[in-house]
């Protein structure tokens, strides 16, 4: 299948081309939009580690979230995206050029772990949305433990990032408002439930959103 081609990457594939393309798209083009239209505010830069042994884990409100996070982080970010997106020809090329790789949300496969290690070997950082899909403002819902399992397997800490306001589609200058709050590092540990609970608590504090338990949340490793 086409998706398999994009699910496993080597460190060498997170190269200067993808790094430069992400800078142009996210740090220049998108950031101009965020600043001029959404009046983006960013707090907590001091909480970002100097090394890259962490996974950046924001809450998820809209399609603006990945370029927003890639635009503000000091290192390039390799996001995990559901494999179904890579079945769309033009979209899969665009995602691939930005350093995104495909993942099966039903299970945490060996290729995902190997690619995660390759990301850190390349000096990029890994980006995961623990909610798996976009949520509603005011809610923290649909959180699974895939991100916690990957943190444990790769021995990487979790950097929680709270985003508010990105769900609003705006086009007029200064008509929107996005606030990004970067939280303190959550150390990885063997207890996946503990990592998940700490992330939920941190995101709640960073956004003011409330956690809503979802019956669809799995005990296993969906991402």
| pLDDT tens digit sequence for 161-206 | 999 999 999 999 999 999 999 999 999 999 999 999 999 999 999 9
Say what the pLDDT of residue 5 is: 76
- Where does the pLDDT of residue 46 fall: very low under 50, low under 70, confident under 90, or very high at 90 and above? very high
Cβ contacts of residue 94 below 8 Å, gap of 6+? none
The answer on pLDDT for 99 being more than 60 is yes
Place of tokens 């559901």: 82
DSSP structure string for 49-68? -SSS-EEEEE---STTHHHH
pLDDT for the residue 50: 95
* DSSP SS3 for 90: helix
How big is the chain, counted in residues? 223
Cα 141 to Cα 45, 114, 209, 220, distances in angstroms: 26, 28, 10, 16
Tokens of 207: 């956004």
| CA pair distance 185, 191, nearest whole angstrom | 16
* pLDDT for residue 3: 55
> Using 50, 70 and 90 to split pLDDT, how confident is the model at 222?
very low
- DSSP helix/strand/coil, 199: helix
For the chain, the average pLDDT equals: 92
**Strand, helix or coil for residue 145:** coil
Say whether pLDDT at 215 is over 70: no
Q: Specify whether the CB–CB gap between 113 and 126 falls below 8 A.
A: no
Q: What is the model's pTM?
A: 0.92
Dihedrals phi, psi of 207, to nearest 5 degrees: -115, -25
Average pLDDT of span 42-49: 98
């Amino acid at each position: 299948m086409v998706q398999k081609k994009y699910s496993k990457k080597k460190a060498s594939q997170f190269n200067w081309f993808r790094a430069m393309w992400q800078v142009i798209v996210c740090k220049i083009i998108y950031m101009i939009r965020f600043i001029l239209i959404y009046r983006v505010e960013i707090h907590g830069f001091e909480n970002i580690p100097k090394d890259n042994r962490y996974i950046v884990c924001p809450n998820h409100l809209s399609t603006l979230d990945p370029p927003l996070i890639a635009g503000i982080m000091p290192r390039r970010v390799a996001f995990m995206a559901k494999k179904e997106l890579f079945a769309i020809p033009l979209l899969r090329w665009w995602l691939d050029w930005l350093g995104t790789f495909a993942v099966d949300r039903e299970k945490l496969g060996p290729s995902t772990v190997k690619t995660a290690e390759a990301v850190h070997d390349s000096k990029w950082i890994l980006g995961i949305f623990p909610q798996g899909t976009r949520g509603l403002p005011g809610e923290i819902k649909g959180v699974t433990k895939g991100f916690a399992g990957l943190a444990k397997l790769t021995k990487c800490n979790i950097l929680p990032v709270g985003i508010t306001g990105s769900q609003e589609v705006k086009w007029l200058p200064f008509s929107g408002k996005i606030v990004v709050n970067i939280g303190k590092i959550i150390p990885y540990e063997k207890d996946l439930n503990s990592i998940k609970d700490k992330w939920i608590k941190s995101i709640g504090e960073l956004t003011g959103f409330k956690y809503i338990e979802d019956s669809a949340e799995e005990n296993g490793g969906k991402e």
